[in-house]
Amino acid sequence: MKRILVTGFEAFGEDRINASWEAVEALPDVIGETEIVKWCLPVEYDRVEGCLKGFMEELEPNAVVCVGQAAGRTAITPEKAAINWMASGTADNAGVKYEGVRICDDEVAADGYFASLPVEKIEAVLKKAGIPAQVSYTAGTYVCNRVMYGLLRYLRQQASPIKGGFIHVPCSSDQGAENPRLPSMSKEMIAKGLETALEVIAKA
């Protein structure tokens, strides 16, 4: 049986919820013939890659899909690329803040890596299912990009057959109800969108 490791993030700062973990937690445990293992990651630059690798070694998954919340986005956005850079105006949950520094400084670390998930196919299948979706070309420079870059670099350096990537989801409509100017998506649709994306990944 195939196995996909899917991660969400804990709530950030003063937020009570994080739409990514809310949606990941709601996923079924099996999709088709594929086992879905869900895990919650810390919003911490310096711990997030270590946590993810820990789960990966334990689970030996066929694919790893990290999910994060992107406030302001109107669609489910599979990320095409991660870059070797950390920069943010706000501190992470451990109080750490990077204002423009490489994630990895060794010679062979690339400036950017493409996801090995079928992001264009995911966009197409979601849209066909009536779910707003669009490939994104920037995962930002915060903890989301940090873990995506770490994951892709690890897989590339190992020449690993494991597929990896990142999907950003909009805020959920509960968050939209608190801030009605914020674009949002219902929890049901975010969860259905992720499930549909995982079906595409399982078949790839």
Catalytic residues: 79, 144, 168
Give the nearer residue to its own copies in terms of CB position, either 15 or 35: 15
Cite the beta strand spans of 70-178 per DSSP E: 77-78, 81-83, 86-87, 99-101, 112-114, 163-169, 171-172
Q: What are the structure tokens assigned to 85, written together?
A: 């850079």
Residue 146 touching its own copies (CB under 8 A)? no
Provide, rounded to whole angstroms, the least separation between the CB of residue 95 and its own copies. 22
- Which residues sit opposite 128 in a β-bridge? none
Residue 122 touching its own copies (CB under 8 A)? no
Site for its own copies in 41-80 (CB under 8 A): 74-75, 80
> Helices 45-59 & 143-157, crossing angle to 10 degrees?
40
Give the nearer residue to its own copies in terms of CB position, either 12 or 113: 113
Interface positions with its own copies (CB under 8 A): 74-75, 80-81, 83-85, 87, 100, 110-114, 120, 126-135, 137-138, 140-141, 173-174, 176-178, 180-186, 188-189
